[in-house]
Chains A and B, each alone.
Chain A
Amino acid sequence: MKEAYGVKNLKFSYNGTNIINDISLNIMEGEFLSLLGPNGAGKTTLIRILTGVIKDIEGEVLLYSKPIHHYRRREFAKTVSFLPQNPEVNLPFQVRDVVMMGRFPYIKRFEMERPRDIEVAEYAMKLLSIDHLAKRHLKELSGGEVKRVFIAQAIAQESKILFLDEPTANLDINYQIEIFKILKDFNRRLNKTIILVTHDINHAARFAKRIVLLKDGMVVKSGEPEDVITEGNLRLVFNTELKVEYDSKNKPYILI
């Protein structure tokens, strides 16, 4: 297994406040990793650093053994894609156009899109069963459909690593499960590395192969769900008493 990310002694502060305090973390290719932690733990900031949105950091972030700031933007986008928490949806772009944007790193400035770009975009739409929506406008879609459009965009980007910030926030429960199933499927069949931020401990425990528990910009615990989701760890991180049970597959879940 190849190492996708190597993070060493990462620090980041904004306006004099330390947001990331010395994080070291290795992420292997093909992992399904979930970042878990309370608000202000630095989850989103960590993702924004790993996706190259935030640049003025201390420490070392290697992507496939090469520092991320040595990547050119397009080259980076071919490796890593990122689905932000609230993507802009108020524009009357058609679904097709939005998915096609995923091909941006592959189309040179003075070129038109090639048949292959269109093929990949159509494949991505089929995969997420949004091909029947191709000509609809983004703002006419439901929350779950919008999320699927942007996941399709990330698929069209053909990156090895997919970051998602709260992919199921504000979605109905059926869509939440559906999105996680899609992600799990990509992870297993296409060997995509998936790294996501979530608030939902049960989702993380059920779908992720590894959970990284964050608090105050530090890694509290990292490992398989059954090792990380314990009453002791959750008390430490969330400052509240939670009851942990185990399902038939021995996966932990919490009772509220």
Chain B
Amino acid sequence: MELQKNLKRIILAELLVPLALFVFGAYHGVLQVLYLAGVIRANSFAGIDYYEGLTAHGVINAIVLTTFFAVAFGYTVIGQELKSHVSIAGAAISLVLMLSGAVMAAAMIFLGKASVLYTFYPPLMAHPLFYVGLVLFIVGSWVPMWTWIPVYLRWRKEHRGQKTPMGVVGIFAAFIVWQMATLPVAFEVLVQLLPWSLGWISGINVMLSRTLFWFFGHPLVYFWLLPTYVLYYTMLPKLAGGKLFSDFAGRFTFMALILLSCPLGLHHQFADPGISTTSKGIQGVLTLLVAIPSLLTAFTIAASLEHAARRRGGKGLFGWWNKLPYFSAENWMFPYLFCGLLIFLFGGITGIVNASYSMNNVVHNTAWVPAHFHLTVAGPIFLGILGGSLLIVTGLLKKPVVSGAMAMIVPYVWMTGTFIFSTGFFIGGLRGEPRRTNMGLTYMNPASPSYRPDWFVPAHLGMVGGCIMGLAVLLYFIVLIRSLAAKPVPAEAPFALPTSEPYHDEDVAAVRNFAPWVAAAVLLCAAAYYVPIANIVKFGVTTAPGFRPDSPAAVNTTH
């Protein structure tokens, strides 16, 4: 069944507008590594301040691009797998809210009124419209799931006894996590930051803001990751020429991520004062439990690839590795997912380092952290977004990919750049190099008393890697623009995402129903967060005034 015509238009807007914004996001990524290595020694370049560019890089790449892709991909999967029409009004409302929010926030950033980074930690205070933009964007992203639920319930009634399609499970998992995670941050923005930036309240409890933010900030990464997991479980085995090794593994992973995504944000606050070691320890343990579905995913995907390779004639204990379609211009999507997996291997391992409680003391807030998350969000997630967007956009517009060979090269170039970039940042981080700091002016400036010669090599490795990543993005946009400009080719069948069949189709009742997992997740969140939040509310100082990033004088908010 074909997607509704207007839905196709909405999906195209949700994919192409953020990709256009991403041009700025990527540009500021490349500029940053130049600042960090001291190639640019200035507060600003070409009219844009370092921290303004850094804020744009974070907000556009990590929030706008990722969330729009999740929504667009979600509509594609739900429409295709449930073979039903979804509410166009809902999709349109969501698009309008998200677009206006994104434009509002981006405008404030580029006017220099919101250089507060994508974590927007108070007491740094941005322009009220920046916060309004965030709220509109988040609320807009809530709409789709609520319009999918009646469609899904109807499908279940009409298909009693049938398993929910795997992609639908994954998409609902993503948006359930998103709904749970964004409520606290919406509270932070609406009840604390917005009235405070408008001068309606003179002070806020900063520890509470941080805790609410990280309640959201970590599940955010699972929300990014889950659409990519859908690609891994539903598409990768098919692209490799085989079947999904285990149906159970996918369903278990999605349910486990619903359960475990939220009650572990405190691992971002291991270094914070005002929270007891007991609360931090409990969430530290919960954090490591996420490794279980991740390791099971690693096994299942590897087993699926082996199954595919053996069907292609692969032999031996390791010999089958040679038989996968690594460099096929027709199957250009395969390396987007495969390179993402390779990058994610290192992203996962280094994430365990960050999450390992007292080991965090060594790396917290150093360059190690961006090194790690560029192997997750800028690895499997970003490559999934690039590949998935190209696939869906060209599919819906019935355009050829021009050229498949060039599209196929992009993930390899990106992977090379990411590995070099992250190696530099890992080493720098272990030597104490701070993250998100305009180092060219001081730490990477031999004329400054703060100069750190031991950070020179890591910062330059980061620069080389970052420039290669920039090259990959350039190649990608050449492919995207050439494909969009190409003449449409008539296709016999309507566009559909490639979907794998299961090899082992286990029937485990425990992973077939969302409700118990969602209920358990809510209870676990309450248990993990009740004590720290109660203490912060009871003992926290509630009078922190705001500060603009360019002045040490507090903003006088009482009019």
The answer on A and B forming one complex is no
Residues of A with Cβ closer than 8 Å to B? none
